[in-house]
Amino acid sequence: MRNSKIDRLVQLEKLGRCPGREGIFGCLYQCHCDSSIFVMRILGLDYGRKRIGVAICDEMGVVARSLATIERKTIKKDMAEIKRLAEELDIEKIVIGYPLTLDGKEGIQCERVSKFSEMIEERLALPVVKWDESLSTREAEDFLIEADMGRKKRRKRVDKLAAAIILQRYLDHLKAGSQDD
């Protein structure tokens, strides 16, 4: 895994994403020492009874984007698809929406999400962060309605957009935390 990080840093350097530094050592120095820049691919999940929305962040950990919607079949098939995505995209962490109520208490679905996240940790050997998903699906719905998208198309896209919203909130939290240092 260490080599893949170095490979990505070299790619970023070739793209000119490490300004003001010369050579690979400059890029490595900046990317590892500047707390506002971190190189980690994170997968975001919006876990539901019928579908799992999937999102991914860019390599700099700044922007989340929707990626896919997994139609739920069996736990085994769901895990296989998440594992395939994680391996294919070189994922190092997973953020899963945790359905807290508006007053911050655990909702009905929390137990299911906790069990699913434990299975992911065991089977994929990746850290899983449970992140408050309050109103993320509603926000995604509102966004798609505002974009004048029909009901059928919305149903296909709402879960992956909700996953992107959850992941973006997590990334924003990380960024805010690094600025407090």
From the DSSP assignment, how many helices (H) and strands (E) are in the chain? 6, 5
**Homologous superfamily of 42-179 in CATH?**
YqgF/RNase H-like domain (3.30.420.140)
Q: Where are the alpha helices (DSSP H) in 94-135?
A: 110-124
Model confidence, pTM: 0.73
- Tell me: pLDDT of 69 over 70: yes
Residue 121 structure tokens: 């940790």
The residue extents of the domains of the chain are: 2-33, 42-179
Q: What is the mean pLDDT of the chain?
A: 79
| pLDDT at residue 150, as a whole number | 83
Rounded Cα–Cα distance for residues 82 and 72 (Å): 11
pLDDT band, very low/low/confident/very high, at 178 (cuts 50, 70, 90): low
Give the Cβ contact number of residue 170 at 10 Å: 22
pLDDT band, very low/low/confident/very high, at 145 (cuts 50, 70, 90): confident
